[in-house]
A and B are shown apart, each in its own frame.
Chain A
């Protein structure tokens, strides 16, 4: 089984840009799509990025996703930080034996 490792927490000021990394422990990151989910306190998760870098309708283009094969990791970048972005963020991917593996989650604090 592979793991997805995320930083426990990140922070940024309103208007700034933050990036959350998601590193795959084994297997190639580019072999399977990466998704990102946002979970605000007390709410269920919502999908903000699918298929590495696609945004569902209604998700602002301040949110972007990418994959870097050289570091075997994916990244979620949030630009123009807003206070409402304060939430937990989870990456997720898969392989043939593991349909859905989630990262441990990153708590974003908007200072």
Chain B
């Protein structure tokens, strides 16, 4: 059974940093592109970033470019999202997911990030 377990969310002040982790199991981790998708409270899904199988190709939504960094450690079957210079509008549940063809295959349970003073 595929499992994706996010961790690292929490409360942070504007301008602060946070790193999310996503541990994958039940599948061959380095066979998949991986993505982060977020959902602000009461709002819809928004793609944040993606990374290819070996970690050498990354893409970001314009809203996070230059502030967020996606990375992976295939030896640990773990995906990361380093979030710097956080803003109130970054408040959301962050889901990690496996990418399949042009969409999402499996989703994690999500990790809540709250940015507030």
A contact set with B: CB distance below 8 Å: 32-33, 35, 37, 39, 44-47, 50-51, 56, 90, 92-94, 99-105
Complex Cα distance A45/B103, Å?
13
Q: Of B46, B47, B109, which contacts A99 at CB under 8 A?
A: B47
Question: Which residues of the other chain, B, contact A45 by a CB distance below 8 angstroms?
Answer: 45, 95, 104, 107
Main secondary structure of the interface of A (DSSP, over half): strand
Assess the B44–A90 pair: CB atoms within 8 A.
yes
Assess the A100–B107 pair: CB atoms within 8 A.
no
Assess the B46–A102 pair: CB atoms within 8 A.
yes
Using A44-B95, A45-B45, A100-B37 as known contacts, say yes or no to A35 and B104 having CB atoms under 8 A apart.
Answer: yes
Q: Of A32, A47, A90, which contacts B106 at CB under 8 A?
A: A47
Which residues between 98 and 115 of chain B lie within 8 Å of chain A, taking CB atoms? 100-110
Residue-by-residue, is B40-78 near A (CB-CB < 8 Å gives 1, otherwise 0)? 000011110010000000010000000000000000000
Complex Cα distance A104/B95, Å?
17
Using A90-B45, A99-B47 as known contacts, say yes or no to A33 and B102 having CB atoms under 8 A apart.
Answer: yes
Assess the B45–A102 pair: CB atoms within 8 A.
yes
Q: Which residue of B lies closest to A39 (CB)?
A: B45
Question: Which residues of the other chain, A, contact B35 by a CB distance below 8 angstroms?
Answer: 99-100
Complex Cα distance A41/B95, Å?
15
Shortest Cβ gap from A24 to chain B (Å): 13
Assess the A33–B103 pair: CB atoms within 8 A.
yes
Question: Which residues of the other chain, A, contact B100 by a CB distance below 8 angstroms?
Answer: 50
Question: Which residues of the other chain, A, contact B108 by a CB distance below 8 angstroms?
Answer: 44
Complex Cα distance A46/B110, Å?
12
Complex Cα distance A37/B35, Å?
15
Shortest Cβ gap from B103 to chain A (Å): 3
